[in-house]
Structure 1
Amino acid sequence: MMNPLQKNTWETIQQTTVTDLRIARQHLWLNVGTYLGLFVIELSCAQLAHSQVLRADAFNNLSGIFSTSLLMTGLYMAAKTHDNDLWGAPIAPSEQLAMSPRIQQSRFRFETLYTLVAGLVMVEIAGDIIYQATRALFSPTTPVLQSRIAGIGAGLSTLILLLLWLTNRHWAHHLANTALVAAAEIFQLTQQVDTLMKQTFNVAVAALMVISSDQLP
């Protein structure tokens, strides 16, 4: 049993930690809304521009929603302070009072566990991106010029994800929260920059072709 001083100290630590976890979870809703909005924007631009690259990138945003959902689940379970079970095992009322700090510390580990799972998902997606890029590099195909609409869509997505990344990074350091650190995954931003570079290259090639045709006698 804890003495009154230890109990008061633990309750203060618990309240502070749980509050930070709930704030972090609220901020992750911004990630879900952003990824969903980008999915709609990029898919719409892909339809208008007939861009398969932008279409693939639009559906890739769904992986961001899945990873964020894992992080939010971990934060939700870690922030629970009153529960009748732990990891599916029932807890008697008397044990809840006697083992409260130990039980809550075990719940806090849900954040780490789900962050690890989300990280493994990100690694798998990043590996698939590297594989597809390497395959495309050694299997050259005839380049297909994209319209300016695709370039605008990719540029807008890059800007939005940059702002989201900076927001996640700020709150991750402010709250010292590992889930928000994981939410600030850089590979999404890298993909958007890669897409923007492809669209810019295609527009530049199209412009050069127009200039060359105008100079023909």
Structure 2
Amino acid sequence: MDLYTNLRKGEKGAWISIGAYIFLSSIKLTFGFLGSSEALKADGFNNLTDILASIAVLVGLRISQKPPDENHHYGHLRAETIASLLASFIMAVIGLQVLTNAFRSIFEPIAEAPSLITAWIAFFSAIIMYGVYRYNLKLSQEIKSSAVRAAAYDNRSDALVSVGAGIGIFGAVFGAPILDIITAFIIGLIIIKTALDIFKESVMTLTDGFDEDEVETLSVLVRRVPGVITLRDFKGRNHGNVMFIDLTVSVAPHLNVIESHWITEEIEKKIQKVKPNCVILVHIEPDSSFSMDEADD
């Protein structure tokens, strides 16, 4: 299954997330206002940000499927990252709004405890989101998509947030109304933290940052390829779900073109075995320290 087929399949997970978030945010905000629950309203606003994030993933997946053209020689795979960056700003704004509302509620008289039904709505939402999480996790493993996997983990954290909201509401119903406001405040912090995590990851990708652990792991594989004397240079960058790697290795100077090409193919096989969505460019250089006596041996 090729990359673009995987991107199309990944859209299904984004659509399911969008549908679930629209449904759950609607009932949470409705019952949150009717049932006087700050925690459930905050959870509903959290799901609104998730709708935007899922739409960003969907749009990114759709644009990423466009093939390379004269202005985009590497394709449009970074469209997904740009959309995620924009979504992080929107999430941060909504998170700050939730925090502001919760903070104001602390200094306002509590008219009544939230309705018990709002707690059950929160737990019901947690069950729904856990099911979406399991589906997207399985899909991400099937198509090897980091974007869908990230969406799955977002689904899981949303399920946990709903469980926390339900617990906070129960505490408020049974004699501690301040717990409902505290839970709303915590949910606001979770929204902002998620926005910051997405922002940092997006900036890392857009500025051609590359994980040092990945460099070390893949460098070990390259050095173990027969014929490679020295790994002189290793550069990596990510475009969406595709990893681009540029390598410079030194080999024995007496090798012919066919033998050198065999080494490059072995390097590509080793790396693509652990990183299937990877484009590798290997530059071969003769090793000046390699003597002809060693070649004769």
Give the TM-score of the pair, scaled to structure 1: 0.64
Where does structure 2 lack aligned partners over 5 or more consecutive residues?
177-297
Q: How does 1:7-86 map to 2 (within 5 A)?
A: 16-81=2-67
1:166 equivalent to 2:152? Answer: no
Q: Per the alignment, do residues 171 and 126 of structure 1 end up closer, same or farther by CA in structure 2, a change over 3 Å counting?
A: farther
The one-letter amino acid of 1:51's match is S
Q: Per the alignment, do residues 119 and 154 of structure 1 end up closer, same or farther by CA in structure 2, a change over 3 Å counting?
A: same
Where does structure 1 lack aligned partners over 5 or more consecutive residues?
1-14, 92-98, 207-217
Bigger-Rg structure (1/2): 2
Q: How does 1:148-167 map to 2 (within 5 A)?
A: 148-167=116-135
The one-letter amino acid of 2:128's match is I
Q: Percent sequence identity over matched residues?
A: 24
Q: Per the alignment, do residues 129 and 180 of structure 1 end up closer, same or farther by CA in structure 2, a change over 3 Å counting?
A: farther
Q: Per the alignment, do residues 109 and 19 of structure 1 end up closer, same or farther by CA in structure 2, a change over 3 Å counting?
A: same
Q: Deviations over 1:10-42 (max 9, x none)?
A: xxxxx7100000000122100110000002221
Give secondary structure in 1 for the equivalent of 2:78: helix
Q: State the Cα RMSD in Å.
A: 3.4
CA contact (8 A) 1:54 1:154 kept: yes
Give secondary structure in 1 for the equivalent of 2:113: coil
Q: 1:162 Cα deviation (Å)?
A: 1.6
Give the corresponding residue for 2:145: 177
The one-letter amino acid of 1:188's match is D
More relative contact order in 1 or in 2 (CA 8 Å, sep 6+)?
Answer: 1
CA contact (8 A) 2:115 2:173 kept: yes
Q: Deviations over 1:144-202 (max 9, x none)?
A: 42221111111111111122222222222222212212212154234212211111212
Give secondary structure in 2 for the equivalent of 1:50: coil
Which has a greater percent of strand?
A: 2
Identify which range, 46-55 or 66-75, moves more after superposition.
46-55
Give the corresponding residue for 1:5: none
1:109 equivalent to 2:78? Answer: yes
The one-letter amino acid of 1:107's match is H
Give the TM-score of the pair, scaled to structure 2: 0.49
The count of aligned residue pairs is 174
Choose from 193, 198, 209 the match for 2:163: 193
Q: Per the alignment, do residues 33 and 151 of structure 1 end up closer, same or farther by CA in structure 2, a change over 3 Å counting?
A: same
CA contact (8 A) 1:78 1:108 kept: yes
CA contact (8 A) 2:36 2:112 kept: no
The one-letter amino acid of 1:192's match is S
Which has a greater percent of helix?
A: 1
